[in-house]
């Protein structure tokens, strides 16, 4: 097992999931300032999942043909650019579109990093390493909303 690659992928996925979670407590406040209804909040959150559902199979296939590192790097770049786009959204259509694009970037990072880990794991140790790697997602899912809520309480 390549320890440096494992650690790098762990950090990449933790950071990506942290970024998704940190905005969760802030999104309803931001969307309400645009006049969002409960339906619009549902559309906005569903846009992320819908785009991942559509694009994950394509990204997975492309990463198998063209290399996983390239897709992870491009996905992280897209993640960064899309994250700054939230500020530019001026209505619920734009905000839902940004969420859709964020889902595409996520489809380029998280599942491909998981596949990459699968490539690196020594035979017979799959359960151990995949569960260790899963910690990156759960740590990000826990820390992200906590930090987002903390930021909301401090600044809003």
Q: Is residue 9 part of a domain?
A: no
Q: Is residue 88 part of a domain?
A: yes
Q: Is residue 1 part of a domain?
A: no
pLDDT at 80 over 60: yes
What pLDDT, in 10s, does the model give residues 50-77? 999 999 999 999 999 999 999 999 999 9
Q: For residue 102, what pLDDT is reported?
A: 94
Q: For residue 106, what pLDDT is reported?
A: 92
In this prediction, residue 1 has a pLDDT band, given cuts at 50, 70 and 90, of low
With beta carbons less than 8 A apart as the criterion, state whether 114 and 63 touch. no
Number of compact structural domains in the chain: 1
Question: Which residues form the domain of 28?
Answer: 24-155
Q: Is residue 14 part of a domain?
A: no
Integer Cα distance of 46 and 36 in angstroms: 14
Q: Is residue 50 part of a domain?
A: yes
What pLDDT, in 10s, does the model give residues 101-150? 999 999 999 999 999 998 888 888 888 889 999 999 999 999 999 999 99
Q: Is residue 33 part of a domain?
A: yes
Q: Is residue 44 part of a domain?
A: yes
What pLDDT, in 10s, does the model give residues 10-38? 999 999 999 888 988 888 888 888 888 88
Q: For residue 126, what pLDDT is reported?
A: 85
Q: Is residue 7 part of a domain?
A: no
With beta carbons less than 8 A apart as the criterion, state whether 123 and 1 touch. no
**Burial 26-63, CB ≥16 within 10 A → b, else e:** bbeebbeeeebeeebbebbbebbeebbeebbeebbebb
């Amino acid at each position: 097992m390549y320890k440096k690659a494992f650690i790098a992928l762990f950090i990449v996925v933790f950071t990506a999931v942290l970024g998704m979670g940190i905005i969760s407590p802030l999104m309803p406040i931001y969307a309400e300032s645009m006049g969002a209804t409960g339906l619009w909040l549902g559309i906005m959150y569903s846009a992320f999942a819908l785009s991942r559902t559509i694009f994950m199979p394509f990204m997975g296939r492309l990463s198998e043909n063209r290399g996983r590192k390239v897709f992870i790097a491009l996905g992280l770049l897209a993640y960064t650019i899309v994250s700054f786009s939230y500020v530019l959204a001026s209505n619920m259509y734009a905000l839902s579109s940004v969420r859709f694009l964020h889902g595409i970037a996520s489809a380029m990072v998280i599942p491909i990093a998981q596949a990459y880990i699968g490539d690196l794991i020594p035979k017979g140790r799959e359960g151990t390493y995949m569960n260790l790697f899963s910690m990156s997602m759960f740590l990000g899912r826990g820390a992200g909303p906590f930090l987002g809520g903390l930021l909301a309480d401090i600044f809003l």
